[in-house]
A and B are shown apart, each in its own frame.
Chain A
Amino acid sequence: MTTLVLLDHDDDGTPRPAALELVTAARPLGEVHGVWVGDGLDAALPGLADAGVLIVHRLPADVWWPAALAEALHAVRSATGADLVLLASTSEGKEVAAGLAVLDGAAVVTDAERVERVEGALRVTKSVLAGTWVSTVEVTSPVAVVTLEPNAVRAEPAAAPSSPQVVDVQVAVSELARSVTVVRTPRQATGRPDLATADVVVVAGRGVDGHLSPVEELADLLGGAVGATRVVADEGWLPREQQVGQTGVAVAPRLYIGVGVSGAVHHRGGMQSAGTVVAVNSDPDAPIFEFADYGIVGDLFDVLPALTAELRRLRELA
């Protein structure tokens, strides 16, 4: 069985962290084929070889728009006979997944945390209802399109490296897929990891009261991203694109630290797949303490500087 993995990458050809996580998740399921859009593949090939990718299907740069990419992936999937297409659970990844699933008549599951093959059948596990439930489905159609949460698996090299074969694919994209005119302005790099895929996320809530420096210092020490609750974005303390929640960025870090975050259900919907949840809040009745793995009832302006200083001290000792 073949799994097709969409290899997201930066403009300079560096694969996004999620791409290698997807390859790692795909390896136990069968042969792994990658799909690469545009330039920069040559520089990425050694990494893809270490990850065990057998074939990379290279698409022209102009199919990046989700509707066009769905059509191109449909063509590659049909040609390879792959029974699974794996994409990253980003907003664009889910758009591509939906369009592709329609073209392929496939099952679609978004925000998956685990994909397995049991007696030939694909099983997908995910958190639902703001992280309060977990459900596992079995795919009963011939093809499945699955978007996998960032950090759901840790990227690891294959037991034996491959020597990936590059296949250039020409696709005729429909007029419909070209009917949207797009003017795209890339965001300026923040110098911190990408919020949606970060391994560590420190989120500032209402409790920070406009004082972001304790949160940013901790995030920078941990090499993490900084997120905001809706109130923090509404107040303009952090930009809107850093808002974490069901209507903002969905995060799935290995470590989530909520600072002055109440943990309302709208926020929880955007971090339900986080691994370990740490919360610091002065209100003992804050809902976040109902699901935090480590909760501290206290003044964040005391706890955070002490935490950061102690982590720095331990790091210097090591």
Chain B
Amino acid sequence: MSTRVPGPSRVGRGSPGNLPRVKIVVAVKHVPDVQSTRMLGADGRLRRDGGDGTLNELDENAVEAAVQIAAATSGEVVALSVGPADAHDAVRRALQLGASRGVVVSDERLVGLDALGTAAVLAAAVTVEGGVDLVLTGMASTDGLTSVVPTALAAYLRLPALALAAHVDVADGTVHVRRELDHAVEELSAPLPAVVSVTDAANEPSFPGFRAIMAARKKPVQELGLDEVVPGLTSLGLDPSMLGGRTRVLHAEPQQPRTDRVLVTDDGDAGVRLAAWLVDQRLV
């Protein structure tokens, strides 16, 4: 089985020096600002109407990695987001950070997608885009923090997944990644096309200047509805009716603080009193 993403032939897209141009899709998400007061709604889903939304800050590292790889390979960066109308804001920010154009998949029928459903729709959109060499994502979103989307996206696309890259580069049609895990450091390489998630150690995202913000306004953003990504879902063997509904929220409530919390100011014996408390609570 070919692992190449189906799409238009790349023949004739050669760049100066005859190095192949790398086409990169970077998946981005709009999330509530982590510094704002975040809450779940009655349906157990994250409230997105707080107004303090932003591009998931961990996606900035993915955009920066994409822009750097594109610069080194005369490549192209397409920012892709799936979500409600505010997905446009995430794509717009990615354009400010250097992506060349955007794709937003937005449809009322996609409200309340779970992480796997989001990964499936992203995979479908990558397939519809076609000719994609590299898909980059952040390591997680700061709202869900499930970190399953990058690996699930790769699995739906039937591409190699190289997760948690602390360093990523592309040379000669191969992606190289270094990742730092709890028990080991790993050097990974895989032939393109591939899916890579990057950590916040991968780079320092640039801060867009006035010029970049103005330039981003002129960059094209394509909007797709569910009907336009269905061919992508179908070609990946996915059923459009199976994008969610795997779990149902029963309860969601603010964490109740302990009622016996202790806050003291040290007047010389706080360390000794803490020792007694830890013993009393059977924690040591």
A residues in contact (CB < 8 Å) with B = 66-67, 70, 90-92, 94-95, 97-99, 101-103, 105-111, 123-124, 127-141, 175-176, 179-187, 194-196, 200, 222, 240-241, 246-247, 249, 254-255, 265-266, 269, 276, 278, 284, 289, 291-299, 302-311, 314
Min CB distance A87 to B, Å, is 12
- Give every chain B residue within 8 A of A98 (Cβ-Cβ): 116, 119, 147-152, 155
Cβ-Cβ contact count across A and B, 8 Å cutoff: 255
The reply to whether B147 and A133 contact each other, CB–CB distance below 8 Å, is no
Min CB distance A91 to B, Å, is 6
- Give every chain A residue within 8 A of B110 (Cβ-Cβ): none
Interface positions, chain B 177-215, Cβ under 8 Å from A, are: 180-191, 199-201
Complex Cα–Cα for A310 and B146 (A): 40
CB 8 Å contact bits of B144-182 with A (1 = contact, 0 = none) = 111111111011101111111000000000000000111
Stretch at the interface among B13-21, B63-71, B96-104, B263-271: B263-271
11 interchain pairs, CB-CB under 8 A: A91-B182, A98-B151, A108-B146, A123-B250, A134-B253, A176-B3, A187-B183, A241-B182, A247-B140, A303-B271, A303-B274
The reply to whether B253 and A133 contact each other, CB–CB distance below 8 Å, is yes
The reply to whether B160 and A296 contact each other, CB–CB distance below 8 Å, is no
Min CB distance A299 to B, Å, is 7
Whether a CB of chain A sits under 8 angstroms from the CB of B222 is no
Whether a CB of chain A sits under 8 angstroms from the CB of B230 is no
- Give every chain B residue within 8 A of A302 (Cβ-Cβ): 266, 268, 271
- Total chain B interface residues with beta-carbon distance under 8 A: 87
Interface positions, chain B 68-126, Cβ under 8 Å from A, are: 114-116, 119
Besides A133-B39, A307-B272, A311-B279, 7 other CB < 8 A contacts?
A70-B155, A98-B148, A106-B246, A108-B152, A134-B252, A141-B246, A182-B186
Whether a CB of chain A sits under 8 angstroms from the CB of B257 is yes
- Give every chain A residue within 8 A of B189 (Cβ-Cβ): 180-181
Among B38, B116, B140, the residue within 8 A (CB) of A102 is B116
The reply to whether B147 and A91 contact each other, CB–CB distance below 8 Å, is yes
Q: With contacts A269-B142, A294-B274 known, is A136 near B251, CB below 8 A?
A: yes
Min CB distance B172 to A, Å, is 14
Whether a CB of chain A sits under 8 angstroms from the CB of B224 is no
Whether a CB of chain A sits under 8 angstroms from the CB of B258 is yes
The reply to whether B186 and A183 contact each other, CB–CB distance below 8 Å, is yes
Among B58, B191, B201, B265, the residue within 8 A (CB) of A240 is B201
The reply to whether A107 and B246 contact each other, CB–CB distance below 8 Å, is yes
- Give every chain B residue within 8 A of A297 (Cβ-Cβ): 263-266
- Give every chain B residue within 8 A of A194 (Cβ-Cβ): 182-183
- Give every chain A residue within 8 A of B274 (Cβ-Cβ): 278, 294, 296, 303, 307
The reply to whether B271 and A255 contact each other, CB–CB distance below 8 Å, is no
The residue in chain A whose Cβ has the minimal distance to the Cβ of B258 is: A293
Complex Cα–Cα for A138 and B252 (A): 12
- Give every chain A residue within 8 A of B277 (Cβ-Cβ): 294
The reply to whether A298 and B246 contact each other, CB–CB distance below 8 Å, is no
- Give every chain A residue within 8 A of B257 (Cβ-Cβ): 291
The residue in chain B whose Cβ has the minimal distance to the Cβ of A102 is: B155
The reply to whether B185 and A187 contact each other, CB–CB distance below 8 Å, is yes
B residues in contact (CB < 8 Å) with A = 1, 3, 34-35, 38-40, 44, 46, 58, 114-116, 119, 139-140, 142-152, 154-156, 158-164, 180-191, 199-201, 242, 245-255, 257-258, 260-266, 268-272, 274-279, 281, 283-284
Min CB distance B164 to A, Å, is 6
The reply to whether A182 and B163 contact each other, CB–CB distance below 8 Å, is no
Complex Cα–Cα for A98 and B114 (A): 12
The residue in chain B whose Cβ has the minimal distance to the Cβ of A302 is: B266
The reply to whether A132 and B266 contact each other, CB–CB distance below 8 Å, is no
The reply to whether A91 and B181 contact each other, CB–CB distance below 8 Å, is yes
- Give every chain B residue within 8 A of A269 (Cβ-Cβ): 34, 142, 145
Q: With contacts A135-B40, A294-B262 known, is A222 near B284, CB below 8 A?
A: yes
- Give every chain B residue within 8 A of A138 (Cβ-Cβ): 247-248, 250
The residue in chain B whose Cβ has the minimal distance to the Cβ of A308 is: B271
The reply to whether A133 and B255 contact each other, CB–CB distance below 8 Å, is yes
The residue in chain A whose Cβ has the minimal distance to the Cβ of B179 is: A91
Top 3 A-B pairs, shortest CB-CB distance? A298-B266, A306-B271, A107-B246
- Give every chain A residue within 8 A of B255 (Cβ-Cβ): 127, 131-134
The reply to whether B251 and A292 contact each other, CB–CB distance below 8 Å, is no
The reply to whether A311 and B142 contact each other, CB–CB distance below 8 Å, is no
The reply to whether B261 and A296 contact each other, CB–CB distance below 8 Å, is no
The reply to whether B270 and A296 contact each other, CB–CB distance below 8 Å, is yes
The reply to whether A140 and B155 contact each other, CB–CB distance below 8 Å, is no
Among A99, A127, A186, the residue within 8 A (CB) of B183 is A186
The reply to whether B263 and A295 contact each other, CB–CB distance below 8 Å, is yes
- Give every chain B residue within 8 A of A182 (Cβ-Cβ): 186-188
The reply to whether B148 and A97 contact each other, CB–CB distance below 8 Å, is yes
- Give every chain A residue within 8 A of B58 (Cβ-Cβ): 247
The reply to whether B270 and A137 contact each other, CB–CB distance below 8 Å, is no
- Give every chain A residue within 8 A of B252 (Cβ-Cβ): 128, 133-136
The reply to whether A186 and B184 contact each other, CB–CB distance below 8 Å, is yes
Min CB distance B145 to A, Å, is 6
The reply to whether B201 and A66 contact each other, CB–CB distance below 8 Å, is no
The residue in chain A whose Cβ has the minimal distance to the Cβ of B250 is: A136
Among B145, B158, B242, the residue within 8 A (CB) of A105 is B242
The residue in chain A whose Cβ has the minimal distance to the Cβ of B144 is: A128
Complex Cα–Cα for A99 and B252 (A): 27
The residue in chain A whose Cβ has the minimal distance to the Cβ of B57 is: A266
Min CB distance A127 to B, Å, is 7
Min CB distance A170 to B, Å, is 21
